């Protein structure tokens, strides 16, 4: 499946151009996590996890990332997603971990030990990626992965359909965060096992798929769900569409209401419905 422009559909990664992989590597290191790792880690801890902003903050984050790819790396496609419902029975065998057409595989146990219970990734286009931080700590290292048993049940079509059947937003985002979302960090480990997970380029494809689930859930009752936003904030207040999505200076702060609709004023994309 090929990518279209940003006003078209985001799509599944299958043999995407090498320019995307190289652009991702450059951008991960130069724009995001060398500049502000402690601020961004704090934001992801306190704003984007276990709170109402789980979806809205990440939607803003990956959309800003996509725009940087276009502006700084002359990338002309759209941000792809990893539909793990196609791979759930054998996630380590997913094409995304191919050394030739994907993002490289597991850490090499014969290579030096990395971070997050992982070892250095020695194959694929990111074998030479060397992040500087792990969490908020300066700790130069190789891109690391350390696959566990990597159970895919929570990424299965049955579980995804179950969470898409959630009756309200708070139930939905908690079910996704504690289910499909956790499959990747718990299974891949390494850099993915920290709040500096965006050092692993697969982070963006994983969160694009999670964003797609929100898109699909919203489209089940668009008249209501494009405005439905419930739960708590990082200060334990009731969430509001006027809450700010803060990226630590990476991009201007905007309100949640501005990212509720992927085809609204701030955003301009849609996902495949199947």
Backbone angles phi, psi at 153, to 5 degrees: -55, -45
CA 160 – CA 154 distance, rounded (Å): 7
CA 100 – CA 154 distance, rounded (Å): 27
Helical pair 202-219 and 169-176, crossing angle rounded to 10 deg: 150
Alpha carbons within 13 A on the beta-carbon side of 46: 13
**How deeply is 222 buried, as exposed, middle or buried, from its count of CB atoms within 10 A (0-12, 13-18, 19+)?**
exposed
Give the model confidence (pLDDT) of 36-64 as tens digits.
Answer: 555 655 666 567 888 999 999 999 999 98
Q: Are strands 133-134 and 119-120 parallel, antiparallel or unpaired?
A: unpaired
Lowest mean pLDDT, pick from 106-110, 136-140, 145-149, 165-169: 136-140
Give the model confidence (pLDDT) of 120-156 as tens digits.
Answer: 999 998 998 888 888 878 899 999 999 998 889 999 9
The CATH homologous superfamily to which domain 9-271 belongs is Di-copper center containing domain from catechol oxidase (1.10.1280.10)
79 compared with 120, residue with greater pLDDT? 120
CA 190 – CA 62 distance, rounded (Å): 21
Instruction: Render the burial of 256-265: b for 16+ CB within 10 Å, e for the rest.
Output: bbebbbbeee
pTM (2 d.p.): 0.89
- What pLDDT does residue 42 have? 60
Angle at 254 between CA 251 and CA 260, to 5 degrees: 120
Alpha carbon 113 to chain centroid, angstroms: 25
Alpha carbon 145 to chain centroid, angstroms: 16
Checking if the pLDDT of 195 tops 90, the result is no
Domain boundaries, the chain: 9-271
Strand partners, 8: none
Checking if the pLDDT of 66 tops 80, the result is yes
Retrieve residue 14's tokens: 């299958």
């Amino acid at each position: 499946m090929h990518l279209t422009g940003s006003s078209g559909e985001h799509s599944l990664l299958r043999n995407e151009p090498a320019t995307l992989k190289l652009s991702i590597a450059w951008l991960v290191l130069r724009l995001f996590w060398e500049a502000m790792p402690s601020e961004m880690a704090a934001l992801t801890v306190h704003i984007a996890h276990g709170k109402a902003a789980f979806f809205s903050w990440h939607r803003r984050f990956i959309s800003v990332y996509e725009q940087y790819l276009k502006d700084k790396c002359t990338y002309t496609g759209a941000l792809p997603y990893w539909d793990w419902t196609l791979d759930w029975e054998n996630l380590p065998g997913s094409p995304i971990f191919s050394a030739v057409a994907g993002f490289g595989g597991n850490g090499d146990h014969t290579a030096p030990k990395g971070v997050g219970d992982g070892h250095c990734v020695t194959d694929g286009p990111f074998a030479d990626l060397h992040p500087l931080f792990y969490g908020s700590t300066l700790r130069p290292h190789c891109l690391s992965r350390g696959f566990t048993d990597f159970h895919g049940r929570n990424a299965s079509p049955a579980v995804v359909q179950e969470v898409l059947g959630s009756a309200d937003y708070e139930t939905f985002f908690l079910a996704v965060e504690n289910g499909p979302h956790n499959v990747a960090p718990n299974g891949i480990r390494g850099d993915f096992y920290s709040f500096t997970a965006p050092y692993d380029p697969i982070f963006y494809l994983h969160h694009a798929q999670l964003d797609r689930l929100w898109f699909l859930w919203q489209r089940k009752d668009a008249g209501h769900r494009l405005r439905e936003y419930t739960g708590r904030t990082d200060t334990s207040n009731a969430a509001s569409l006027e809450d700010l999505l803060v990226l630590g200076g990476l991009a201007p702060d905007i309100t949640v209401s501005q990212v509720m609709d992927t085809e609204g004023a701030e955003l301009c994309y849609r996902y495949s419905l199947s």
